[in-house]
Structure formats: C-alpha cells, structure tokens
A and B are shown apart, each in its own frame.
Chain A
Amino acid sequence: MATAFDGERAVRGGSRGDVLVRWIGGHPAAALITGLAVVGVLWLILAPWPAGFEDLFGRKRLLITALFNGITLGGLYFLVASGFTLIFGLMRNVNLAHGSLYLFGGYMGYETVDWTGSWLLSYVVAFICCAIIGAAMQVLIFRRMEGQDLRQTLTTLGLSIVFADLMVWVWGGNAFQITTPDYLMGPTPVPIVVAVKSSGEAVFLAYPRVRLAIFAAAVLIGIGMWLVLNRTRIGVMIRAGVDDRDMLSVLGYPVQLVFVLVFAFGAGLAGMAGIVGGTFQSISLGEDSHFLLASLQVVIVGGMGSIPGAALGALIIGLSEQIGLVYFQNYATVLTFLIMVIVLALRPQGLLGKR
C-alpha cells in the first residue's frame, strides 16, 4: 500500500497545478498522447471539416449534437449520482431507492408546474419533498442498522419496490413531460460551425437553450458542492467521515446529524434531477431503474464516494451513451458496459476513487 499512500500525500501536499506538472513530468508519453487527443477533439469540434471526414463520422451536425447531448446528459447524471456517491461514501449505504427518489421528484415537479405554473418553484418543492423522505429513511430505518451494509442495501431495495408500485398507483403508467418555461424555450446559437454553405457562409449550431441552462446549473451545483466540501466546517466533517467514520464520532462530532443532512441533501438533489429529466426527456414508469443504473455506472467508473469522480464518470457515461446511440445503435449499451469493464479491470476502485 506504500504507493497509494505516496500518491495520496502527493495530492494533499501540493496544489492541483503542481500535481498536473508532476504527472506530466512522470508520464511524458501519456501526457503527449492525452494532449494530442484533446487538441484533436477540439479541432474536430471547432474547425469546418474536410471532405473525407463526413464518410467516416457521418454529418458533422450529428457528431456535434451527440457531443452536446452527451455532455448535458452528463450534467443530469451528475446531479443524480453525486447524491448517491456522497451517501455511499459517508454511510456505506448503497441506496437502491435513489432512482425512486429521482422519479418521485420528477412527479412532484410536474404537479407543481401543473398547479402554479412556476418551473423554478418546482425545484424547491421537489428538493424539499425528497429531502424529507431521505431524512426520514435515515432517521427511522438506517440509524437502527448502522454498520450492517448488506441489510441496509436490502432495505433500500424493498423500499424501492414499494415506492415504485405506490407511484404507479398515483400517477399510472403514462409518461409526463414537464413544460419548459418560455424564457428557456427554443434554440440558442452556439459559436461552432457545423457546415459551410455553397456560398461560403458558415452555418452555426443551434442548441436547445434549456439544456445549456441546466448544464450550467449542474456545473454551478458541482462547484458549490466542491466549495462546501473543501471550504466549510461541515464539509470538513463530511470528508473526515468519508475517510474514517468511527474516528469522527469518537472525536465527538455530531455524526448522526451529518448523516441525516447528507442523506437529505443527496435525496433532494435526486429529486431536483427528476425535474431536469422530466424537462429533457420525460418521466414515466421504469425511469427509476434507468437512473439507478446510470448512477451505479457513474459511481463505478468515477470512483465510489468521490464528487470529482462523479463529475468525471457522469461525463464519460453521458457521452458514451449518446455517441453510442448515434454510431452503433444496436450495441449502444455495450459501449458503456465496456467502459465499466475496462475501468473495473484496471482500477477496481474507479478512476478517482480511493481504496
């Protein structure tokens, strides 16, 4: 375990810039390849394509749209998976009811928009509703079986079965779409050339404004979480709890309170993500297991219990899903599965996970 310890000390010791420089110094070949790949991808995205490329990649608009869809979908996956990974990292509780919370948040958001017409208010409502359920689950059930990982996980599984059926009871099997508010309706031009007209005039990509806005919000939430985790007292407590829960409680910190807060926050985030999903796509029966699976994949790829890992994993899974959908329709899930297999084979703890 000496290498892992050294790596950790290196991360703790210097600022992030230092680490990057040191990594490039340590792996010049890998750094060169990564740099070339980044430049190549940027060129693919920004420059107008020469003639031969369309045969290889199809229409440029297709690839660019897939990339944008993948990145914005990654934003949505990040919202769902960050709560999942926090709960897992701190409490060792694989919350298999996380997808149900997502779906419930979506339904509550739909109802709120239906009643009040306010899209922004629906986020508040969904967050509060799901946070209350999450806190109740932690206080009423999981506190009683602390340290019993498997029993907790089985309990969340039972809860997810019951939740799913109760939601079918209330909302039926139909799909709901949450209406996008007027100010986010329609496309917005993006300064990326997708084609050149015969007159030599460049055609720019137009992309749905709501997806861009939501992606920006996801980034903001991610930065906010990073700041809270790294710059506040409660964040220090949470990080300490992820590293060594027992030691934190021995030192007299209110561990139970931190647990409830984190569970409520993670559940609330999943609920808010439900509205995002309901606006992007739709909310319906079966979406709970879809997003539970997405969270699992994101967390397995990114690293369990790590917020930056969740961001990276969400981006990878979102992109691979959308690109797979465009280029190999019949085997789109195989691509995400392969990524998961490769990560598990090379780094069982996930890309940014700690052992």
Chain B
Amino acid sequence: MTLAQTTATGPIDERGMPGRHLPPRWIAQHSSILLLGLVLLLLPAVAGNFVLDQIVGWTLILGMIALSLMFLAGYGGMVSLVQMTVAGVAGYMVAVLGASSLPTISLFWPWWVATPLAIGIAVVFGTFAGALSARTEGIYTIMITLAIAAAFFYLTLQNWSIFNGFNGFTSIPAPIVFGINWKAPIPLYYLILFCAALSYAAVVYVSRAPFGLALQGVRDDPRRMEAIGYNITAHRIAAYAFAALIAAVGGVLLVWLNNQISPGTAGIEATIDLLVIAVVGGLGHPIGAFVGAFIYVILRTFALDALVAVGLDGRRFQTIIGLGFLVIVLFSPDGVVGLWRRWTARISSADGGSHR
C-alpha cells in the first residue's frame, strides 16, 4: 500500500488543532477553499443552466461519490471499487420505490419514504460489501470490490423484474418540497452544492475525529492497532458505512439530475472512471476528489470537440483518459493535488530564499 502511504502524508500532517489558531489566521489558511465556496454560491448569478447543472452540478455529484472512495482509500487504505455501485443502488431504489415512467415496477411511494429508504438500502449494501472485503487485506480489496461491482452491473443488465434490464428507468422526477420544484436548475444546483459541501466538511471532520485517526492508524499498521486493543475490522466496516452514506446521497442526486438510470450508470466503465477521478485528483486530500471530477467532466464535455478541432479522431477520448491516468500514476502518485502542493511549496521556498 505504498501509494496510499505516500499520498496520505497530507492529512496526517494537517492534524493541527483548529482551536489553537486565531480566526483571521484560520481564514488565511483556508482562503482558497472559502473563495471557492463563495464563487460556487454566487455562480447562478452569472452562469447559465448548462454550466450550473451539466458542468458544476455533475462535477459536485461525481466529486461526492469519488470523495467516498477517497475517504476509504486515503484514510483507510482500502481502494474500494464498489462506491459507484452503492450510488447506483441508491439511484435504482429511488426509481423503484418512487416514481418513474414504469408503473409496472415503480411503487410510487412519496419522496419522504422512498428517498431515505433508498439511501438506507444503499448504505446497507455498501456496508455489506465492506464487511466482505474488510477481512482480507490490501490488494485483495480491489479484486473483491471490483467483482461485486461487476456482478451488480450484470445483474441490472439481465434482470427485468426489478431493474428493467438494459433500458433502466426514465422520467424519474425530483420531488416538490416546500413549494419548490427541486428539478428546476437553480434549486437543484443549490441542493447539490449543499450536499457536496456537507459531505466535504463531514469527511474533513471525521478524518480529525478519534474515529478517523484510529482508521488512519489501522491503515498504517493494522497489527499494532490490534495489539493496543482496537477492533480493526469494525473500524474498516464503519468506514465503509460512512463512505456508503456519502455515495448513496450522490447516487440519489445523480438520478435527480439526469432523470434516468440504466445499467451503464453503475457499469464497469463508470466504476473504473470513478477510480480514475479519485486517483487523478489525488487520494491525499478530500479536495482531490472534486478536482479529479472537475477535470473529468471538462474532458468528457469538451475533449471530443477539442480533439476534432486539432484534427484528431474524437472517438479516441478513452485513450486520452487512459494515458492521462497512466502519466499521473507513474509520475505523480498523489495526483493533481500533489502536483499543486509540490509546486506551491517550491514557489514559497524560492520566495523565502530571495527574501533572505
């Protein structure tokens, strides 16, 4: 697990207690994230609906699901490929329990029953998958979770009685609550932004809470943690449950954004894309998940046209993604965030030198 160890030095180093610093210093330290939050809050004033939902909204949702993977991989040392599937389960359950264009399958329960239940089922599923893989170590996790994810994909593809096979579900509405139609672009954008910010804060908080610190201990040396009395399997399974909650909320939002879900939503390609997002962004810091998602969404939306514009075959998009991923894995194991950190560190050290 060398990658996780090298990349995750960040979260460990940042363990400094927030209470020790004065508020202005805290603002200065987190200026970039506060600025980003401000920009995202004010974005609807300037940006059109396409940018709001299809670029930023999609980025934040993918970022949330990738964040759950980052949490498990970065803090727990468990590269779980089942997170996209957890999101898929939540999405499918929203369609099955709630409303869709298929009255033969959908149960049309009200949203306040269907949505929490869907999230609950997805969390149970994610926890169960975690319990299966938590007893094995390291590299086995990838194999087992990938096998579970692929099994779910083939199940949705083959099964017509619950998952409606190849076609999946369409016309899944977002609910109307407090008189607001949450399908409308701006309310949906704020809902996504709220959930993403909350999950980010939750991951940052948990990573510094006793549970998160113990989890990082389990990652670094499971034997020693066991020897001093921690139940390492319980810590791992709890981490899976927490991550599954974030992924499940992301899955529900994804269905509300796209209005549809089909086997491809949580297919093998989507599963692998999610890992690519998390690794390219960087497994060392929660923000990496969102950075990776942003790069992915931008590439996905514009690379085709850009490739054609420079005279290349637009269909070679996957090769670009794969090569980019390889470059990151080979040369910057802590992702784009790691590149950025080393770059800023070099700048600041160069500054320090010139002042002396």
Give chain A's interface residues, CB within 8 Å of chain B: 92, 94, 96, 141, 147-151, 153-155, 157-162, 164-166, 168-169, 289, 293, 296-297, 299-300, 304, 329-334, 336-337, 340-341, 344-345, 348-349
State A294–B133 Cα separation when bound (angstroms): 18
A84 CB, nearest partner CB in chain B, Å: 10
State A344–B132 Cα separation when bound (angstroms): 7
Kindly list chain A residues whose C-beta atoms are within 8 Å of the C-beta of B2: 147-151
A348 engages B139 (CB within 8 Å): no
Kindly list chain A residues whose C-beta atoms are within 8 Å of the C-beta of B321: 161
State A162–B323 Cα separation when bound (angstroms): 7
Q: Which of B136, B155, B279, B317 contacts A154 (CB 8 A)?
A: B279
Q: Which of A155, A162, A344 contacts B144 (CB 8 A)?
A: A344
B146 engages A296 (CB within 8 Å): yes
In the A-B complex, list the 8 residue pairs whose CB atoms are closest, starting with the nearest: A161-B322, A162-B322, A165-B318, A158-B326, A293-B150, A337-B151, A333-B154, A149-B139
Interface residue B140 (Cβ < 8 Å from any Cβ of A):
yes
B325 engages A158 (CB within 8 Å): yes
B140 engages A340 (CB within 8 Å): no
Contacts A155-B326, A157-B275, A159-B326; is A297 near B147 (CB within 8 Å)?
yes
Residue of A92, A168, A296, A349 with most chain B CB atoms under a 10 A cut-off: A296
What are 12 A-B pairs at a CB distance below 8 A? A141-B330, A149-B1, A150-B3, A158-B276, A158-B329, A160-B322, A161-B276, A169-B315, A293-B146, A293-B151, A330-B159, A333-B155
Interface residue B299 (Cβ < 8 Å from any Cβ of A):
no
Kindly list chain B residues whose C-beta atoms are within 8 Å of the C-beta of A157: 272, 275-276, 325
Interface residue B72 (Cβ < 8 Å from any Cβ of A):
no
Given contacts A333-B154, A348-B135, 11 further A-B contacts (CB under 8 A): A94-B143, A149-B2, A154-B329, A161-B272, A161-B319, A161-B322, A165-B319, A289-B269, A337-B155, A340-B151, A345-B132
A334 engages B155 (CB within 8 Å): yes
Q: Which of B139, B161, B325 contacts A330 (CB 8 A)?
A: B161
A153 engages B139 (CB within 8 Å): yes
Residues of B contacting A: mostly? helix
A151 engages B139 (CB within 8 Å): no
Kindly list chain B residues whose C-beta atoms are within 8 Å of the C-beta of A340: 147, 151
Kindly list chain A residues whose C-beta atoms are within 8 Å of the C-beta of B150: 289, 293, 296
A149 engages B138 (CB within 8 Å): yes
B142 engages A94 (CB within 8 Å): yes
Kindly list chain B residues whose C-beta atoms are within 8 Å of the C-beta of A147: 2
Among B132-171, those with CB < 8 Å from A are 132-133, 135-136, 138-140, 142-144, 146-148, 150-151, 154-155, 158-161
Chain B: interface size category: 35 or more
State A118–B322 Cα separation when bound (angstroms): 35
State A341–B82 Cα separation when bound (angstroms): 15
Interface residue B232 (Cβ < 8 Å from any Cβ of A):
no
Chain A, Cβ-Cβ closest to B329: A154
> Residues 53-85 of chain B: 1 if any A CB is under 8 Å from the residue's CB, otherwise 0?
000000000000000000000000001000000
A248 CB, nearest partner CB in chain B, Å: 20
> Residues 300-342 of chain B: 1 if any A CB is under 8 Å from the residue's CB, otherwise 0?
0000000000000101111101110110011001000000000
State A289–B150 Cα separation when bound (angstroms): 9
B142 engages A153 (CB within 8 Å): yes
Interface residue B257 (Cβ < 8 Å from any Cβ of A):
no
B279 engages A300 (CB within 8 Å): no
Kindly list chain B residues whose C-beta atoms are within 8 Å of the C-beta of A150: 1-4, 79, 138-139, 142
Kindly list chain B residues whose C-beta atoms are within 8 Å of the C-beta of A151: 2-3, 329, 333
A329 engages B279 (CB within 8 Å): no
State A161–B135 Cα separation when bound (angstroms): 29
